[in-house]
Structure 1
Amino acid sequence: MGTDFTRRSFLGTMGAACTLPYIGRAQAAGSGPILIGVPTAQTAQAGVADHQDYLNGTNLALDEINQAGGVLGRPLKAVIVDIDPLSPESGQIAVNKLIDAKVHAISCAFSLTPVPAADASAKYKAPFLWGATQRNLTDLVAKNPKKYSHLFQTDPSEVHYGWTFPMFLQSMRDQGAWKPKNNKVHIVQEQIAYCQTISKALQEALPKSQFELAHITDIQYPVQDWGPVIQEIKSVGAGAVMIDHWVAAEYASFVKQFSADPLEGSLVYLQYGPSQPEFLELAGPAANGFVWSTVLGVYADEKGKAFRDKYKKKFPGIMGLCYTGNGYDTAYYLKTAWEAVGDPMKFDAVSDWIRTHPYRGVCGLMDMNNPFQEAAHFPDNGHAPTATTLEKGMAQLYFQVQDEQHKIIYPNELVETKLQKAPWW
């Protein structure tokens, strides 16, 4: 099948993102396009930015693959359905639509309520790869390996945000980049299960470190006014503050208010949300000095930089540094698995191949050959699955906003620059 036909076939499918065409049995079994189901938040109140990033990265990969001749002589086609990441019912509906469309695999950014979607997929067993970032999901996989043999989490779980934070603080102090006013950590935590799990993991890790818990402040989405929270941060006076939240726009509001009335000398860490392009767009120069991290991020090595350049050329503007690369990597991971097995309809064989064959993408190595079937985390924080060296796992990237740009400051193997003095220090 020629490149021109492949490109026309692919581009012709992208305009009807929410329309599921009838797919006959013969087409699904061996002729026509190979179908990747991509549940994507389009009408939801939360998660839209990350899901759009994921879809963009997926589309970039599909375009490249199809221009190169497709997979097994067939073009790849995305079947896109709407999903609300906060709704269990929406996840079930999205997966059932994709089953009806007879997709060969499901590729998704995440759902904050992933179990119903996982259960819906279990009756079909097409490989299901997503950056769900939730240990409650991968615990189920470990406890029910037969039922969830097709389910793969393409990044480490959220527990690593808590477990690794004291390691990051220790590294910054040891390097002399940060001289803490004290060894106390103040946690400001949102109430969804994702944020609570991170907070509990950090509380578990602190007694084993050289830092201690100072205080916990509860917040509730949506945060209308950060003023009382900032006053409590100043009153507690901890050397490090973790804002354990997830909404980019609300983080932007926080940094503007905090910068105007800061706690001098404190290292302020914002959990993940600044990865979304909206954060820098809304926060502007007020974002400078703040630190954030992701267990799933595009590296700044040669491979990562090449992807960043390609992505920015296709999608101008501020680039998200997490799910863009994850969508891209997952599409290529599936391509490699299908080519190795030789038939995308052999769901069990494809899943077995993914489980036993790691894939090194622009976001690092996805090695899911462990009971959780989730990517092994780097650096090794003592909690499995982790990797002892960079090239055996997926690195959790710590960034600092410097000159309104995200720069990797940890782990040391991937640093772009050192931690700089924050404006309020």
Structure 2
Amino acid sequence: MNTIRKLGLALLAASALSVASAQAQDKVAKIGVLAPMTGGAAADGNEMVNGARLAVEEINAAGGIAGYTFEVVVGDTQDQAADTVTSAFERLAGDRDVNVMMTGYASGSNFEIELMAEQEMPYIISANAAQTRDIIAPSPDDFPTVWSISPSYDAYETAMVPVIQQLLDGGALELPNKKVALISSDNPYSKTIMEGLQKNFEEAGWEVTSADLLPFGEINDWRAFLAGVRQAAPSIIINTDYLPGNAATFMTQFLEQPTDSLVFIQYAPSVPEFLDLTKDRATGVVYNMLGGVLDTPQNPRAAEVVGKYEAKYGAAPGVYGPALYEQVYLYADALAKVGDPTDRLAIGQAIGETEKQIAAGMLRFDPETHLAVQGEDAIPIQFFQIWDGKRELFYPARYATEEFQTPPWMK
């Protein structure tokens, strides 16, 4: 073989190697994130995207998965209206490199699950577990690619009464009567929880003095409801509207003339924005979480994830930063098993077979509902009380970091 021919073959080999290397580097699996980036829930949406991007940066820095690097692409669901969510879904689904989507929540009803199933799109979701179950449970085999890392929301409706009774029996809480006032905004998540709470309080012998329903959206004036509260003087007030701005306004207006009542607010106190808006006015407020960060010594994964988020973004996350971080890793684990992001059904099956410790607890899925399994040895419900700007876990006792304290306006 003459020198010129040898040189030519060497150049061809180098060229082929270079092309192969470039092609490997060009193998990108895009992760579609549906999130409310604008509107009243934008704080949640931005946190979702931050959590997903944090995980993607880590995975890419480690060399990717199965020869692929990841890229986050975002679909803004704005006010979670059906047309907006559908438009965001269609835009992401139109990208051939998007073979998985995830969210904390995209809509109030989770109707988009049907769209995902039609395209066999792997979809990992967190919120609105009751709606997810209602869609999937009648025919779980029709939704092989859809999985929720949130467990059943039944405990949001059923756990409150026994926890209150436990506090009363233990002497940690004293209440003047067995009256409870409830209020909600008209969205599937909040309304369902309020109705369930009403049923369970009534069955336990409590008098429900009100169960008001307001239009969903920004609420600047809660005073009409609070006027009724002051007249009825219930010992517990429950607001299941989940928007942090609304909850902050509610708490500010309650404290203008507080009653001798325990105040419980659904979800909103878990969002950092709520504490930013309320400052010390939040001290004493109670809330609970299903699928929130289980930041206890028994679950070091939570401290790991939260610590990484704080180091990256300079602020503690709420629920959805860690949730989307973990969702990206669920997809990465599935892709590592399957090897091909376009094999969507196999990816969905691999996600459904997950059993691992995540920031919220031990994750495994119920094959009948595609929800995370709920329980103290799985994903537990957690009750928190805000005190001096900190969220203190007081239930379940096995995970508690502090004891419940009587709110300052009740002393």
1:1-48 CA-to-partner distances (Å, cap 9, x unmatched) read xxxxxxxxxxxxxxxxxxxxxxxxxx99996012211122223x2321
Percent identity, please.
Answer: 24
1:146 aligns with 2:141: yes
1:285 aligned onto 2:283: no
Letter in 2 for 1:418: E
Q: 1:412 to 1:28 in 2, by over 3 A?
A: farther
Q: 1:31 to 1:224 in 2, by over 3 A?
A: closer
Q: What is aligned with 1:345?
A: 342
Which one of the candidate residues 243, 251, 257 is aligned to 2:239? 243
Would you say the 8 A contact 2:109–2:188 is kept in 1? no
Residues 157 and 194 in structure 2, CA contact (< 8 A), matched pair in contact too: yes
Which portions of structure 1, spanning 4 or more consecutive aligned residues, are displaced by more than 6 angstroms?
Answer: 27-31
Match of 1:355 in 2: 352
1:32/1:259 CA distance change after superposition, 3 Å:
same
1:298 match: 293
SS in 2 for 1:300: coil
SS of 1:161's equivalent in the other structure is helix
* Uncovered stretches (5+) of structure 1, i.e. residues with no partner: 1-26, 379-389
In 2, the alpha carbon distance for the partners of 1:28 and 1:141 equals 39
* Inter-partner Cα distance in structure 1 for 2:169 and 2:321: 33
For 2:45, the equivalent position in structure 1 comes to 51
The match for 1:21 is none
What is the alpha-carbon distance in structure 1 between the residues aligned to residue 317 and residue 199 of structure 2?
Answer: 31
Match of 2:102 among 89, 107, 113: 107
8 Å contact from structure 2 (residues 242, 266) kept in 1: yes
Question: CA contact under 8 A between 1:408 and 1:414: conserved in structure 2?
Answer: yes
Alignment of 1:208-357 (within 5 A): 208-209=203-204, 211-220=206-215, 221-264=217-260, 266-301=261-296, 302-317=300-315, 319-357=316-354
Residues 130, 152 of structure 1: 8 Å contact kept = yes
SS in 2 for 1:155: strand
Match in the other structure for 1:88: 82
Q: Distance in 1 between matches of 2:193 and 2:79?
A: 19
Aligned to 1:76: 70
Alignment CA distance shift 1:170-1:370 (3 Å) = farther
For the residue of structure 1 that corresponds to 2:68, the secondary structure is coil
Counterpart of 1:135 in structure 2: which amino acid? A
Q: Does 1:407 align with 2:392?
A: yes
1:403: Cα distance to partner?
A: 0.6
Distance 1:98 1:183 in 2: 51
Contact preservation (8 Å) 1:156, 1:375: yes
Matches within 5 A, 1:27-46: 32-43=27-38, 45-46=39-40
Corresponding position: 1:397 with 2:382: yes
**C-alpha distance in structure 2 between counterparts of 1:96 and 1:59, whole Å:** 21
Asked if structure 2 preserves the Cα contact closer than 8 Å seen for 1:356 and 1:369, the reply is no
1:28/1:212 CA distance change after superposition, 3 Å = farther
If you compute each CA radius of gyration, which structure gives the higher value, 1 or 2?
Answer: 2
1:321–1:113 Cα change, 3 Å: closer
With normalisation by structure 1, the TM-score equals 0.84
2:60 is equivalent to residue 66 of structure 1 = yes
CA distances 1:50-107 after superposition (whole Å, capped 9, x unpaired): 1111111111111111222211132111122222242111221222222211212111
TM-score (norm 2): 0.87
User: 1:184-236, CA deviations, whole angstroms, 9 ceiling, x for partnerless residues?
Assistant: 22211222222111112112322443645343233334323222222211222
- Equivalenced residue count is 384
Residues 46 and 86, structure 1, Cα contact 8 Å, conserved in 2: no
Deviation at 1:114, TM superposition (A): 4.2
Q: Quote the residue 1:203 is aligned against.
A: 198
Q: Which runs of 5+ in 2 are unaligned?
A: 1-21
Instruction: Tell me by how many angstroms 1:358 deviates.
Output: 2.5
Alpha-carbon distance change, 121 to 85 in structure 1, aligned in 2, over 3 angstroms: farther
Hey, what's the Cα distance between the residues in 1 that align with 2:366 and 2:157? 23
2:409 alignment partner in structure 1: 424
2: CA distance between counterparts of 1:69 and 1:236? 62
Summarize deviations over 1:338-372 as a string: whole Å, max 9, x none: 21233322211221222232232112233223311
C-alpha contact 1:36 1:79 (8 A) present in aligned 2: yes
Q: Is the 8 A contact 2:248 2:278 kept in 1?
A: yes
